Amino acid sequence: MTTEPGLRESKKQETRQLISDCATRLFLEQGFEQTTIAEIATAARVAKKTVTNYFPRKEDLALDHHERFTDGLALAVTGRAPGESPLTALERSIRTALADHSPVVGFTGPQFARMVADSPTLGARLRELHDLREDALASALADGVPDSAPAGAPRTAAALMAAADRLLFRRIQELTLAGRTDDEIEATLAPEADHVLASLTAALGDHPVAARP
């Protein structure tokens, strides 16, 4: 039988999703900056305090899956196959995300991409999330780092890996705003990704953190 705590948790998730869906619809219709928390609460038929309880920051209503985004690079490294280097795992993760047209690497669709591009607030928040993504990767790389590695080695490797990831993200957003379909973006990005990842490998090929098994 379903327990009462389970029912409460299910209800919370339903309410959270309802608020998120209503917010996304209003943001796309009106723009992020122009939409108020009060309007979102009215659309979701909840109190304003309920909205802010679930989403303390207005930006989190638009970038609802930010935890998945900030943890993505770190999880690619910590979940790598036995004997696989962090660099190889990251490259594989990026290529898979491109093939899957994953929102995590920038495949957000033209409406969403335009909404973010038109909002200084969301632009600033997205840059912050990229920084947090890099920080999480640096922490993951620091786990099990060789004793002989310089103290700043995890941070150096993370900065270069995250820069490559951020470059591809921005390129996908740029092509999305230019009206390209996801398939066209993937085809365009394939050789560009090859170049970026080859440059990353050249920079980190013998790095004591990124290249270790």
32-76 per-position pLDDT tens digit: 999 999 999 999 999 999 999 999 999 999 998 888 899 999 999
pLDDT digits (tens, 9 = 90+) for 150-194: 889 999 999 999 999 999 999 999 999 999 999 999 999 999 999
Using 50, 70 and 90 to split pLDDT, how confident is the model at 149?
A: confident
Quick one: average pLDDT of 109-122?
94
Using 50, 70 and 90 to split pLDDT, how confident is the model at 7?
A: confident
Q: In percent, how much of the chain has pLDDT > 90?
A: 82
pLDDT higher than threshold 70 for residue 1:
no
Tokens of 86: 């962090």
pTM of the model: 0.88
pLDDT higher than threshold 60 for residue 2:
no
Helix (H) or strand (E) holding 118: none
Residue 3 has a pLDDT of 58
Q: How far apart are CA 97 and CA 104, in angstroms?
A: 8
List every span in the chain annotated with CATH 1.10.10.60. Answer: 4-62
Using 50, 70 and 90 to split pLDDT, how confident is the model at 147?
A: confident
Residue 128 has a pLDDT of 96
Burial grade of 126 (CB within 10 A; 0-12, 13-18, 19 or more):
buried
CATH topology of domain 66-204: Tetracycline Repressor; domain 2 (1.10.357)
pLDDT higher than threshold 60 for residue 198:
yes
Q: Does domain 4-62 have CATH number 1.10.10.60?
A: yes
List every span in the chain annotated with CATH 1.10.357. Answer: 66-204
Residue type, 213: P
Q: What CA–CA distances, in Å, run from 148 to 8, 57, 69, 152, 209?
A: 51, 42, 31, 12, 10
Q: What number of residues does the chain have?
A: 213
